[in-house]
Structure 1
């Protein structure tokens, strides 16, 4: 896999779509109630600190990806162990996205189709995309990006145009103080979606040498965070925090309320399309990261691992017996335990080790 084959614009566009991913499926920061927007902003700022940490790691070794860094700075055996753990983390996140896509499809479109068929089709499509390599995947993101932006812009405009927004749902601000806001933001919103950009430590070295890479990444991250905060708060302004908290698909249910004469009566179809595209991009990104990791560890070619990894991801996606269990495991366990370990602890340890081992070179 060649180095420096990605444009910075391609990388940041993929990062933006990756962040959007499945985020719009949920009402983020529900514990903060009408102050969910504050929780989103706090989570985004905490995620920005993590992003700066990741970019600092990249700046020290711009030619090495996440897996090569751990191998170089923690040794052959410990590095391989940590790399296998990251492969498992990326694969598990992919499997969660496969399950999300399958369950949403059954709830909204193919109500009589078995889950295993929907999930099988999804993993085959994504695996086929991954098989062509990260370059093709990033180009697909560039092609889809304008449509995603226009689609969400249309939905955002139609809410006020149809009189669905209730600004009084914003109030009262900080009714119960800052504590519920911080509890809602940390660690859940940091872990999902903002901390997941740790994946891009796999892709940064493939970008063409450009001094503006960190600046571009941070700028797009902030713009995407603001967009997600806005979309998340639309749910509150349409449904109110009480209804939104108990809704399975809150933004979709909000979109289904849009009625504008006889022109826009099925905007839910537009949202489902946007959601599927975003979720597919997130699946492909994590999937690609996992396969690159296996290539780095074993030396076996990238393409060889695609379908075996796809089979593993497909099987893991059925570990939860039902969708409720799947959500509980994700929100109560994954976001509070494993995600911070991979997004915060391991990158921070790597950064410290790199600083210690490179210190003699800096003083020479």
Structure 2
């Protein structure tokens, strides 16, 4: 990609990292199986995810003029690298499908109970496809518009919880009463896979930065900030609902917001919370969708506009495979997280080793 086509600023990259990592994470109680220690499991996952992020940044710095497809070809060879890239294309499309289904289910539960879920999911997918059609510059402008308002809404909710004394942080006690092993089991690999390991998508996005090199400072700062925010949101949810109810709840954040129903001057705050979650899921779906399209476009030398329609059709069709929301959640927070390890950890580690070996043998990374 020529320097003239790199139009993504450092601020846009920072905002995208924050909004992407928030995504649908507050929708669930990540690490809820360790009850009141879920925030500790989230902290361990964030630290492990940070180490993974350093690996991704190292790969990008080592091969600065390449995106993920080019790195795979350089490390594994043209044929094996292209085949691996095809698997990543499918993997990102699968993740986009999960977010589309999340949007459809959440809409049916909170806002439009009488509307067919197939229609609402199609609308969200068309919006995402249109953004991809317009290009990366438009996609990265969205967080500039959405993130300030989203964070303002989160801070308002947090302020209301504290003001109304709905949050009792004594519910976070006792701390680590069963030792370290349950926390590690909860964090590794599940919390690393979701949401922190999903940062792998930025190996397809960092090359869009308007400056030469890698936006490490912007990315690391955004990662640390959003990790602390997510840890605090887990603590807040548990302190409002208690460890048992928050673990059993399907949508704990919405349940926590509904505890503010005794407010006299404002009603249906759960709708506000649902819209906030919509924004995060929509951005995450859009990025996964875009990365799948980008890989397909690079591999075939065809326009991203053409592949946006083809990949979008596949995502929409596969979003109906899971029979109901219960099955959707059980797969997404179960077997799916184990498969994520292959794409987020195993392959990048093997690639890093291959890059090191090729570097020692004097191979020069090819141009884009």
The interval holding the TM-score normalised by the smaller chain is: over 0.9
Do 1:11 and 1:138's aligned partners in 2 also have CA atoms closer than 8 Å? yes
Provide structure 2 residue ranges, at least 5 long, that are not aligned to the other structure. Answer: none
Aligned counterparts, 1:35-54, within 5 A = 35-54=37-56
Q: Tell me what 1:339 maps to.
A: 340
Do 2:206 and 2:214's aligned partners in 1 also have CA atoms closer than 8 Å? no
Q: Tell me what 1:349 maps to.
A: 350
Separation in 2, partners of 1:201, 1:12: 14
Separation in 2, partners of 1:176, 1:69: 43
Do 1:5 and 1:135's aligned partners in 2 also have CA atoms closer than 8 Å? yes
Provide TM-score, normalisation by structure 1. 0.96
The one-character-per-residue Cα deviations of 1:86-144 (angstroms, maximum 9, x if unpaired) are: 00010000000001110111111111222211111111111111111111100111111
Do 1:34 and 1:171's aligned partners in 2 also have CA atoms closer than 8 Å? yes
Provide structure 1 residue ranges, at least 5 long, that are not aligned to the other structure. Answer: none
Do 2:61 and 2:213's aligned partners in 1 also have CA atoms closer than 8 Å? no
Provide TM-score, normalisation by structure 2. 0.95
The one-character-per-residue Cα deviations of 1:142-190 (angstroms, maximum 9, x if unpaired) are: 1111111111111111101111011220111111111111111111100
User: How many positions carry a matched residue from both structures?
Assistant: 362
Do 1:25 and 1:275's aligned partners in 2 also have CA atoms closer than 8 Å? yes
Q: Tell me what 1:5 maps to.
A: 7
Root-mean-square deviation over aligned CA pairs: 1.5
Give secondary structure in 2 for the equivalent of 1:113: coil
Separation in 1, partners of 2:64, 2:213: 11
Do 2:60 and 2:214's aligned partners in 1 also have CA atoms closer than 8 Å? no
Q: 1:71–1:110: structure 2 CA closer, same or farther, 3 Å change rule?
A: same
Give secondary structure in 2 for the equivalent of 1:335: helix
Do 1:8 and 1:210's aligned partners in 2 also have CA atoms closer than 8 Å? no
Do 2:7 and 2:137's aligned partners in 1 also have CA atoms closer than 8 Å? yes
Aligned counterparts, 1:72-221, within 5 A = 72-209=74-211, 213-221=215-223
Give secondary structure in 1 for the equivalent of 2:8: coil
The one-character-per-residue Cα deviations of 1:37-62 (angstroms, maximum 9, x if unpaired) are: 10000000000000000000000111
Do 1:166 and 1:238's aligned partners in 2 also have CA atoms closer than 8 Å? yes
Separation in 2, partners of 1:344, 1:212: 20
Aligned counterparts, 1:265-344, within 5 A = 265-336=267-338, 338-344=339-345
Separation in 2, partners of 1:212, 1:88: 26
Q: Tell me what 2:247 maps to.
A: 245
User: Once the 2 structures are TM-superposed, how far is the Cα of residue 358 of structure 1 from its aligned partner?
Assistant: 1.2
